[in-house]
Amino acid sequence: MEKVRVHIFVLGKVQGVFFRDSVMKRARKLGVFGWVQNLSDNRVEAMFEGEKEKVEKIVKWTKKGPMFARVDNIDIEPQEYTGEFKDFQIKYPELEKFIN
């Protein structure tokens, strides 16, 4: 199986609509690894790694998103597969300033 890595940025009504949680659940169900996070400019950013077919499925799903989301644009950047992730998680950069 070919393994791939994709870095995406999703623009639209994608915050406050359970986008990150929905991405995480779908990625875990598919067996895709990586992370998803909100950005301060109201976009959602995600990194997906795994079998090519499964990564393609999650990327296709993010073009629509969950029920209350509205995706206006998605930037997709293929990258070199690294295998660095062992699971899929939501990152909370807005909270990191309080932790560090």
Catalytic residues: 20, 38
Helical packing angle, 52-62 and 19-30, nearest 10°: 160
Cα–Cα distance measured from residue 75 to residue 90, given in angstroms and rounded to the nearest whole number: 19
Of 81, 88, 92, whose CA–CA distance to 29 is shortest?
Answer: 88
